[in-house]
Amino acid sequence: MRDPRYDILFTPLKIGPVTAKNRFFQVPHCNGMGHAMPLAHAAMRETKAEGGWAVVSTEECEIHPSGDLTPYVEARLWDDRDIPALALMCDKVHAHGALAALELSHNGPTASNLYSREVLLAPSHQPSKYGYPSQARAMTLHDIREYRRWHREAAIRGKRAGMDIIYVYAAHDLSLAMHFLQRRRNQRSDEYGGSLENRVRLLREVLQDTKDAVGDTCAVALRFATEELLGPGGVELAEAKEIVGMLAELPDLWDVNLAAWYNDSVPSRFASEGAQEPFIDFVKQTTSKPVVGVGRFTSPDTMVSQLKRGVLDMIGCARPSIADPFLPRKIEEGRIDDIRECIGCNICVSGDMTISPIRCTQNPTMGEEWRKGWHPERIAPKRSPSRVLVVGAGPAGLEAARALGQRGYEVSLAEARRELGGRVTREARLPGLAEWARVRDWRVGQIHKLSNIAVYLDSALTAQDVLDFGAEHVVLATGCHWRRDGYGRSQGFAIPGFVDNPRVFTPDDLMDGRLPEGRVVVFDDDGFYYGSVAAEMLRLRGCEVVHLTPDDSIAPWSLHTLDYRHIRKRMAELGIEAMVSQDIIGFDGTTLTVEDVWTHQRHELGCDAVIAVTARVPDDALYQELLRREAEWSAAGVRSLRCIGDAEAPGLIAHAVYAGHRYARELEEPTAGEVAFKRHFHTAHADDLRREPQAREPS
């Protein structure tokens, strides 16, 4: 039963000509599938609707070839041939009583046109945003009229596809409608440039065009960034307040946030739940129309507070809806402790950035709804009364045990340490990573609800222990450890002076409380978050810290998770020195020999300690021993042995959780063949998207 405190979250809300059944709004978010994988995209959005979201939105939807976003895979409505893919999504969403929303966009100078080869368009002549060696040309008045026509026609196509809400997009520094607002991008001297009234003109026209075209049956939403944190060159809060005042009653819904994307979807390391409130709380005081906003909301109490205090009318979520598509339903059913809370790691963002299907650390089924038929709440029952022994209770082992228990297997989970969580527990103690403990907490909570899972702490098992245990299936999730010899991406061998040097530390040492003092060099050959977290931790303890990396930038992979700018800012604020394109050649205990990776010039760098953030080694000794004793399996009753997660191949926490879930899903199930998931095959007929491919009879 629902707690009455949360009743307000389940009151309907009228948005123009349509009505949302509750206050949960999945705002537009990218997913790496888009127009290229419409069946997978539709299934993912359907899961959100099934989970209780009142509104389920697309990602950016290209309206014309001159706004082509290749290589990124977004939605597309260039012409009528694109309608079936989005119609499929609408049908799936509507089947669960939710509204479907479409975010129309033309990205102007932030597009690429690598596929279409059209010339980029912009308010004024300017370089393309993302480093492509090209420029956008200034739009003529004819171009502006054409852009308005493209947007109007795309809105009509969206209506034909079955969309209930059509967005006008003026956010994230990713649309012409916003670019015309920005002084740094709009340097026109005609009626579309100069004064704020002139810079708002195009946005007003497009809003009115859209309402005229589809407003009889579709609500028109405006997604608007109230602040860019760039100073006078960007949209500033004071100016945003004027803009909202000018357009207050024109859209049917205001969707407000920060720009750019890295300021909107800030990782949890750098922003807490509801962090956008100071930048958006004025909107609802300015308009009578409903307002939706985001803040990585996971707490129902925080959601209620947002509504009751008049900050928002609807709770907007992207990342929390990815971590738990059933978040609204769980609140409605009084299952608050079953919510799989977002940890703010932004691995979901990396799908779009790497042009691959979306994934999630907390929710391993995300992106696999159609490909593998995985559902976030349902799983096939066990095939036999077999018992399963899971060795290791890190993210892979916890997820394997939980999902196996959900299937009904008798599971024994053995952990060598006196606490559960493995690397998650240890990493969550590092600066800014506390919310990552949610990976452990949710799984432990679910395990404790299942009577068929037995947990054994302080239980380091030998190969003989495993054989004597009597389980038919054994899965080893024993984790990994960091190398301290310097071997990594840039070093194919150990660095002279690292091996057995007491002044060489690893992230494991830091997590175990063995900390250096004095002047410390963090040698980051990993390229993601570990190096900067280690540097921050030591600097906060009073060490003088140098962050040194063979890469040409600090933490380059963090660009895929929107961490990069925040990492660099944090390092600058803390006074952490950054040295890029530098490799370590040797260490004598007090002096590093450092080599420039391009010129090969060498110099010496004095320090008291080095943190080697390089590569990891699987802790697979138990697995290897059991493989050597395979002849004994049958007598011991062991039918299968697997090694998963970091013990198989060290990776992200998301990889470990996925590995555990996959093992549980596939145990005793028929093999799917060489390709273990469905793929999209394009046909000559767009209508084929509406049905599954049919097998042909042999000729």
The pLDDT of residue 48 is 98
* Helix-, strand-, coil-residue percentages of the chain, each rounded to 5: 35, 20, 45
| Alpha-carbon distances, residue 638 vs 454, 469, 596, 644, 647 (angstroms) | 19, 9, 53, 17, 20
Q: Which residues contact 618 (CB under 8 A, 6 or more apart)?
A: 478, 479, 480, 643, 646, 647, 648, 649, 650
User: At 497, phi and psi to the nearest 5?
Assistant: 95, -10
Q: Any idea which residues carry the catalytic annotation?
A: 30, 169, 172, 264
Residue 17 has which token pair? 């000509």
CB 270: neighbour CB atoms within 10 A? 18
Q: Over the stretch 223-233, which tens digit does the pLDDT of each residue have?
A: 999 999 999 88
Q: Over the stretch 373-415, which tens digit does the pLDDT of each residue have?
A: 999 999 999 999 999 999 999 999 999 999 999 999 999 999 9
Entry pTM: 0.95
Distance from C-alpha of 155 to C-alpha of 159, rounded to nearest angstrom: 6
Distance from C-alpha of 329 to C-alpha of 350, rounded to nearest angstrom: 27
Alpha helix locations (H) across 370-501? Answer: 395-407, 423-427, 438-448, 463-469
The pLDDT of residue 151 is 98
Angle at CA of residue 162, ends 161 and 167, nearest 5°: 90
Could you list the mean pLDDT of each consecutive 10-residue stretch along the chain, which spans 699 residues? 96 98 98 96 98 98 97 97 97 98 97 96 94 93 98 98 98 97 97 98 98 98 97 92 98 98 96 96 98 98 98 98 98 98 98 96 98 98 98 98 98 98 97 98 98 98 98 98 96 94 97 97 97 98 98 97 97 98 96 97 97 98 98 98 98 98 97 89 58 46
SS3 155: helix
The pLDDT of residue 591 is 97
